Chain A
Amino acid sequence: MTELTNHRLDTAGFEAERAEILQSWPTGTGVSFAEAVKVQEALPTEKRFPVALAAADAQGMTLLQPRAGVALVREHAALLNGLSPYCDVLPTTIDAYTRHNRYTEAQDGIDRSRAAGTSLLNGFPAVNHGVDGCRRLVDAVSKPVQVRHGTPDARLLAEITLAAGFSSFEGGGISYNIPYAKHVPLERSIRHWQYCDRLVGRFEEEGVSINREPFGPLTGTLVPPFVSHVVAILEGLLALEQGVKCITLGYGQAGNVAQDIAALRSLRRLAHHYFLNAGYADYKLTTVFHQWMGGFPADEAQATAVICLGALVARQARATKIIVKTPHEASGVPTLEANQAGLKATRQMVNMISDQNRVDSPDIQMEIDVIEAEVHAVMREILRLGRGDIARGAVAAFQTGAMDVPFAPARANLGKLTPVRDNHGAIRLFDVGNVPLPADVLAFHRDKIAERALCERREPSFNMVVDDVRAISASKLVGRPA
């Protein structure tokens, strides 16, 4: 493998790599690109993800999308059809074995699920079901379907699902490595995702638009907005270089209303800034807001309140799409009914916020200023480390800790940056680690944390962080001492 750079993969190399990937598991031989283009072209308008996003963006609407995936095709189709009346676009959540390319274990899970009469897998094993199984699924539903997963090497998954008529693909070389893997080198996952993006680029060249969505929330636990914004911008740039044209950037709810609104508003602006400055103009940008990704209350009424707070913020900040949680979140994979309940609660909230005036306040503007200063500082360092190349720069930045994702399992992540909530629940930096933020920004973080420490009459420490991680599941936002 040649040294990683942010350049479009050349055709000969891509074709050679594709031949190898399609041989790596028996269902791969069912993929033909010419056939795949025909399948995509034959999709009716109402099943095309980019069309749904563009319409929502043009009309200022917010789309609702649940998460869902079970082991078998027929059961999964029934699940999606049960969710379909309550949402705008559909998901297919991939199981955790497939995410790690462990197809033998996925097959075992399929067999045992068949025997048990219930899904023992936490998602849909699309690679094992192959192009035919996935096509049966796409044919059985009436809305656009997206692949949602967490796969560092998703090349075969992308080939199979896009050949079957899925029209959106989540993930990225950073966002599907750092929070989702342990030993995968970052240069390898970025390179594998250049392949996925190039595949989408090839469809675009054939006149078939496919949506790409870098995964916004990362570890979902007290992630400072600038951290996820930098990853979103990097993955957007990497995708654009490979010919992707329809990009949805994401952000996961942190909990403080002003900070969350500021984060979504700044994300769109910052992304355009970096995309246009890098010379890309022919793209469509939309946003996705993830309802709270951390620990949920076990009580279903309390969980619904968390869901509604997310819906309020997403709609207030005019996200193009919301990824909806369920009242079963604390117990893992939800039932159809619980999933419907999350969608209904979100819809009610979105409808009630839709007609209201835009909320603005000095607090929101101040948060935007801080996020922008942070993102620019880190992006400058990434460009410096990569000598102008963001792929190389991203790898180097994670090595030095100039980029650092809190609570991530990956060895490729330094893990020194430690967040904590301030007195109002906004996420600040307890330990900046090696992230090169400006002195005035650091002073701002210090002051905000000091204000909380004074109020709680205790020194800031890792215990405060632990309290914050567990606070929302214990019905609070800030983890105050008992």
Chain B
Amino acid sequence: MSTESQDYKIVLGVIGADCHAVGNRILTSVLTQGGIDVVNLGVMVAQDEFIEAALSEQAGAILVSSIYGHGELDCQDFRARCEERGLTDIVLYVGGNLVIGKQEFSVVEAQFREMGFDRVFHPSADLQEVIGLLKADIDANRPAQLARNSRPLADERLGLSA
């Protein structure tokens, strides 16, 4: 894996009792090709599994998918649970068919932003755009570091990722 993708590590999964696997495979493939290091938890992932993986992998973002309509029930208190577990600055994205039935996307978006998600996507979102936003949001969220703008030495990088 390129050193670049080490900088953009995300946890991906389909939440709740949802077993839709196809979009998950597509997302993994396209995000990986876009230079993102994807920790894919697959389908039927509980909130705590997302959080545990983000903690142990030191991921910069969690991408939650939901296509079966129970997103509203499954995503409740996700942000609060992250903060309880010490994930205070994580970027949270959610996408798919998040509610039951065809509803105005702007309403659904507002509802999930209210729930603490940074960005909300519909199923036909442009994945190249998502990759761009994801990298920018992860960068913006990084804790300030000394010499952040200088390139670390190769062996320091290895040390960091070991």
Contact = CB atoms under 8 A, between A and B. Distances in A.
Interface of A: 95-97, 99-100, 102, 105, 108-109, 112, 118-122, 150, 179-182, 219, 221, 294-295, 298, 328, 330-335, 338, 407-409, 462, 466, 469-470, 473
A343 to B, nearest CB: 17
A332 B73 contact: no
Given A96-B69, A97-B70, A332-B68, 15 more contacts: A96-B17, A96-B19, A100-B17, A105-B17, A109-B70, A121-B69, A180-B19, A181-B44, A182-B43, A328-B101, A332-B69, A335-B102, A407-B21, A407-B22, A409-B42
B19 A409 contact: yes
19 contacts: A95-B70, A96-B19, A96-B69, A105-B17, A105-B73, A118-B100, A120-B73, A121-B70, A179-B19, A180-B19, A181-B19, A182-B43, A219-B22, A330-B97, A331-B101, A331-B103, A334-B102, A335-B101, A462-B29
Interface residues of B, number: 28
B110 interface: no
B72 interface: yes
Interface in B28-44: 29-30, 42-44
A409 B101 contact: no
A95 B69 CA distance: 10
Contacts of B16: 96
Contacts of A469: 22, 26
B21 A408 contact: yes
Contacts of B68: 96, 122, 332
A466 B23 CA distance: 10
A68 to B, nearest CB: 12
B22 A333 contact: no
B17 to A, nearest CB: 4
Interface in B1-59: 16-22, 25-26, 29-30, 42-44
A466 B30 CA distance: 9
A88 B147 CA distance: 71
B9 to A, nearest CB: 22
Contacts, number: 93
Contacts of A221: 22
Interface in B74-131: 97, 99-103, 123-124
B49 to A, nearest CB: 11
A240 to B, nearest CB: 28
A72 to B, nearest CB: 13
Contacts of A466: 26, 29-30
B67 interface: yes
Given A122-B69, A333-B69, A470 B26 contact: yes
Contacts of B25: 407
Contacts of B99: 332
A102 B73 contact: no
Contacts of A99: 17
B73 A409 contact: no
Given A97-B70, A298-B124, A332 B97 contact: yes
Contact of B102 (A105, A108, A331): A331
Interface centre among A97, A105, A179, A331, by most chain B C-beta atoms within 10 angstroms, is: A331
A102 B29 CA distance: 31
Contacts of A331: 97, 101-103
Nearest to B45: A182
Contacts of B21: 179, 219, 407-409
B150 to A, nearest CB: 36
Contacts of A96: 16-19, 68-70
Nearest to B33: A463
B106 to A, nearest CB: 14
A154 to B, nearest CB: 15
